[in-house]
């Protein structure tokens, strides 16, 4: 049994499918003599396609972002054509009769072993360049992990160091029952995707890749943060019972999709969904969400082969709005940085403190043409639907000056589109509240925005001065800590007093214990992973506003997180004992 971080509740049993960092189980079978020529040609074709990709990307980034940012792709093209790089691949195909994919995997291993021995940051960055090139080459080979070929039979438990967004998208076509990652946290890519699809998941399981091989039987308990490898018959039977209970409860709750979201005393709530793409939007509709409270547009960039231009973005955004419940959607501009990076925005070099550095709106300001392209695409897409259904939101707003600058850029985008005779409509403009400075001064910002959305994931780590992805301090990132609860109460009460709509779109919104507290603080709009909407709707129907307010009054007297957690566990067990299975520890 291995322990990690509980990131997506529920119990799942399945067959392990191990995803290594770059390739999914590259073919280890030796080539026949008659296959060698074809495999060499396969590699050369992949190399030519990758070089063409990089050439096109270099030109596009140079035009939209800048020459310096585009230069990285010239470096990558040089690596692809480097004789030492290419000759090794050819020799392994010919002499060792390895597939091109297996040869690339071997080459990465060699470079990794060589460069990780040095502390020289320049050489370590070159390893990142080589890794990016190998990923690009692998994507053009027949054996690439996104080819759509089913890996193995049966319900799968995906085991990985960390899931890249592109890998997570590819897994959507497989029967995935659970996800286990060696790295990551409650807000990693894998965690977000698992919750959006209702898949039990555990992150931060140390050395899991050394302990598991493809084909092993794996149990994932996403509530307790436990992973069991090849359990005995008695343990397996107990977990199968829990798995059935989890699926039965989920199916029961899904039946409330058409019911209104009402508290026990009839107060109407808005339960919306957080999404990464069109599949999530459709899931939100199926789960009974009233709209989309957060569309993370960065996943378009993270999973796109190159830099999407305005027309490409417009088509994607229009499709997302079309598939959103009631066309009701809040579209957040690019939130790149921290744990989400793309090379063409200058993130080929590591920052000492990326979560508190050059990211989100700060990065967008530095590349105004790139940023304006996205704003124009969003306005165009939103204008295809009834006015007021789509909203525009900006991440990591810290100061009043930033909001004024954003409004100026939006006015410029409207003027540009008007000059092009493009159909446009006015969008409501909102800010994502994640920075403590903005929380403290929220009253001075409300005259400049139409709505506020609280991003609790980042707000918690900034308040606690603790990187949520650093296992040494991640225990401090507690949404139920008294400090966090006081700040949230202040923000919600201030917004309500000034009659500015406020939503929580961080992971707190979909957690039963946190939901009860937010409800008692006066919050009436929540946005969460689509799979959590039915359980929160059920919980809302079992509690009155008076009860929630009484719970908050008691909790605000507590001095420690442990006290809050114990009290909220008891309250949830009394109000909705059937939902405790869906609340991660």
Residues designated catalytic: 189, 505
Cα angle: 283, vertex 289, 294; to 5 degrees: 80
Beta bridge partners of 504: 454, 526
Instruction: Give dist(CA 565, CA 585) in Å, integer.
Output: 10
Query: For residues 173 and 145, is the Cβ–Cβ distance under 8 A?
Result: no
**Percent helix, strand and coil across the chain, each to the nearest 5:** 55, 15, 35
Structure tokens at 546: 């008076």
Q: What is the per-residue DSSP string for 265-320?
A: T--B-EEEEEESSHHHHHHHHHHT-SSEEEEETHHHHHTSSS---HHHHHHHHHHH
Query: For residues 271 and 509, is the Cβ–Cβ distance under 8 A?
Result: no
525 to 290, 473, 489, 504, 518: CA distances (angstroms): 10, 31, 14, 7, 10
Instruction: Give dist(CA 402, CA 412) in Å, integer.
Output: 15
5 to 364, 474, 475: CA distances (angstroms): 32, 10, 10
Instruction: Give dist(CA 456, CA 435) in Å, integer.
Output: 10
Burial environment of residue 148 by CB neighbours within 10 A (0 to 12, 13 to 18, 19 or more): exposed
Residue among 65, 75, 56, 179 nearest 128 (CA): 75
Query: For residues 207 and 183, is the Cβ–Cβ distance under 8 A?
Result: no
């Amino acid at each position: 049994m291995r322990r990690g971080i509980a990131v997506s509740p529920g119990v799942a049993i399945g067959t392990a499918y191990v995803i290594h960092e770059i390739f999914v189980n590259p073919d280890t079978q030796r080539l026949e003599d008659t296959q060698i020529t074809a495999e060499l040609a396969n590699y050369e074709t992949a190399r030519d396609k990758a070089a063409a990709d990089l050439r096109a990307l270099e030109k596009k980034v140079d035009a939209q972002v800048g020459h310096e940012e585009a230069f990285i792709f010239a470096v990558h093209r040089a690596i692809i054509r480097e004789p030492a790089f290419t000759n090794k691949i050819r020799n392994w195909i010919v002499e060792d009769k390895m597939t091109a994919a297996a040869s690339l995997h071997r080459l990465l291993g060699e470079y990794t072993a060589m460069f990780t021995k040095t502390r020289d940051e320049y050489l370590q960055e070159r390893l990142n360049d080589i890794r990016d090139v190998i990923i690009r080459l692998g994507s053009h080979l027949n054996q690439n992990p996104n080819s759509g070929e089913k890996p193995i039979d049966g319900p799968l438990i995906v085991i990985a160091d960390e899931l890249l967004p592109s890998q997570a998208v590819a897994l959507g076509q497989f029967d995935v029952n659970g996800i286990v990652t060696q790295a990551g946290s409650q807000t990693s890519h894998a965690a977000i995707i698992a919750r959006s699809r209702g898949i039990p998941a555990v992150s931060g399981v140390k050395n899991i890749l050394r302990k598991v091989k493809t084909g092993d039987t794996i149990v994932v308990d996403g509530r307790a943060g436990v992973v069991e490898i090849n359990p005995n018959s008695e343990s397996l039977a107990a977990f199968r019972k829990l798995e059935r209970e989890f699926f039965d409860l989920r199916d029961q709750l899904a039946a409330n999709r058409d019911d209104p979201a009402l508290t026990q005393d009839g107060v109407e709530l808005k339960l919306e969904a957080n999404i990464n793409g069109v599949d999530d939007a459709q899931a939100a509709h199926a789960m009974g969400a009233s709209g989309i409270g957060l569309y993370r547009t960065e996943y378009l960039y993270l999973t796109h082969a190159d830099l999407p231009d305005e027309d490409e973005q417009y088509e994607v955004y229009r499709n997302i709005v079309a598939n959103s419940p009631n066309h009701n959607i809040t579209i957040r501009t690019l939130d790149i940085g921290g744990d989400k990076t793309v090379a063409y925005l200058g993130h080929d070099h590591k920052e000492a403190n990326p979560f508190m550095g050059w990211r989100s709106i700060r990065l967008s300001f530095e590349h105004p043409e790139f940023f304006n392209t996205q704003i124009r695409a969003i306005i165009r897409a939103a204008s295809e639907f009834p006015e007021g259904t789509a909203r525009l939101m900006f991440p990591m707003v810290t100061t009043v000056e930033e909001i004024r600058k954003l409004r100026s850029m939006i006015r410029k985008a409207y003027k540009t589109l008007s000059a092009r005779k493009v159909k446009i409509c006015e969008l409501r403009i909102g800010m994502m509240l994640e920075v403590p400075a903005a929380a403290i001064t929220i009253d001075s910002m409300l005259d400049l925005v139409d709505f506020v959305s609280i991003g609790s994931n980042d707000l918690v780590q900034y308040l606690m001065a603790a990187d949520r992805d650093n296992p040494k301090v991640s225990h401090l990132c507690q949404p139920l800590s008294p400090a966090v609860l006081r700040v949230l109460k202040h923000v919600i009460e201030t917004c309500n007093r000034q009659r500015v709509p406020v939503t929580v779109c961080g992971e707190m919104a979909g957690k039963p214990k946190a939901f009860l507290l937010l409800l008692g603080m006066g919050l009436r709009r929540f946005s969460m992973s689509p799979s959590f909407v039915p359980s929160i709707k059920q919980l809302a129907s079992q509690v009155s506003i008076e009860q929630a307010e009484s719970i908050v009054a008691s909790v605000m007297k507590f001095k420690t997180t442990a006290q809050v957690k114990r009290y909220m566990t008891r309250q949830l067990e009394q109000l909705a004992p059937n939902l405790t299975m869906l609340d991660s520890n």
